[in-house]
Amino acid sequence: MNFDDIVQVVLKEVMCQLEIKKFKQKEVIVCFTGTNRGLTSIIAELKKLKSKGIRLKAVLSKFASQIIDMDLINKVFSKEDIYIDDALEVNHIYDKKFDLLIGGTCSINSLAKVANGIGDTLPTALISKCILNGTKIVIAKESFEFNKEIPVSYMNMINKNLDKLKSYGIELMNSNNISNLVLNEQYIINSKLNKDIINANEIISKNLVDKKGIYENNSEIEIYKKVISSEDISNNSKDEKIVVPSNSIITALAQDLADELNIEIIKR
């Protein structure tokens, strides 16, 4: 491997680091409406995202703020990142841009509203906005999964609304898969970065670099200089091949000495 290969590996590492920084700057809105179902599970997933540097903001309907344990919310979100419907200062959150919306706890009532184009609360309005803008939406399924039997006709109505939501591009999944989904991009970036670092270490370990810009391996030596002198040949007289840049100038004395010592000079 030559110097250009090492430069490329280092460049890839820098680009990967920039991508990770960009990823960590992404903002995620988490909506909570009037149900406690699945709250503990989604909070656990949100903690994972927060620990990875994902920026989270919470949006609660007025009813959600009355029935949800706000101590759990406060453990994940800072005070300035919690927006409750009907509060005077929350209007500007609707105009903000964000990269992903997570439906943390979404009641059947709220999902029915969104499915039928109704956005009369801040969370449902934000979800509707994301549908129109093409922003990715993921909703935790625990909020609307039932362990007991309910009337078939009522369940059919729920399923019909869920089918509508899926047709809008909304992804419904178990909450314990949400952090993996969000972090998948970062995992790919980190894997690529680790692979490039390993490649860099392998390349550098095979090439001993000295202060004169000379790279050595077992079969040949590479000299990165504009002008190759007889001194360069003499200093590397034990090598059978000397590789130099294609635009290097080889002095006549250097060429004569190389011929005398049976050293092949290769331009690359």
Q: What is the DSSP secondary-structure string of 126-192?
A: HHHHHHHHT-EEEEEGGGG--SS---HHHHHHHHHHHHHHHHTT-EEE-GGGHHHHHHHHHHHHHHH
> Does any domain span residue 202?
no
Last residue of a domain, one of 159, 187, 215: 187
Whether 23 and 107 share a structural domain = yes
Whether 237 and 182 share a structural domain = no
Predicted local confidence at residue 181, as pLDDT? 82
Whether 155 and 23 share a structural domain = yes
On whether the CB atoms of residues 230 and 257 are closer than 8 A, the answer is yes
> Does any domain span residue 199?
no
Predicted local confidence at residue 25, as pLDDT? 61
**Please, which residues have CB within 8 angstroms of residue 162's CB and are 6 or more apart in sequence?**
111, 115, 144, 172
- Block mean pLDDT (10 aa), the chain, length 268: 64 59 71 93 92 90 93 93 76 80 94 93 92 92 81 91 94 90 57 48 48 52 83 83 87 87 88
Q: Give the total number of structural domains in the chain.
A: 2
Whether 31 and 161 share a structural domain = yes
Please tell me the distance from the alpha carbon of residue 237 to that of residue 262, in angstroms, as a whole number.
Answer: 9
Whether 43 and 89 share a structural domain = yes
Predicted local confidence at residue 5, as pLDDT? 65
List the domain range (segments joined by +) for residue 243. 207-267
- Neighbouring CB atoms inside 10 A of 45's CB total 23
> Does any domain span residue 197?
no
Whether 9 and 92 share a structural domain = yes
Which run of H or of E encompasses 208?
strand 208-209
* The model's pTM: 0.61
Whether 127 and 251 share a structural domain = no
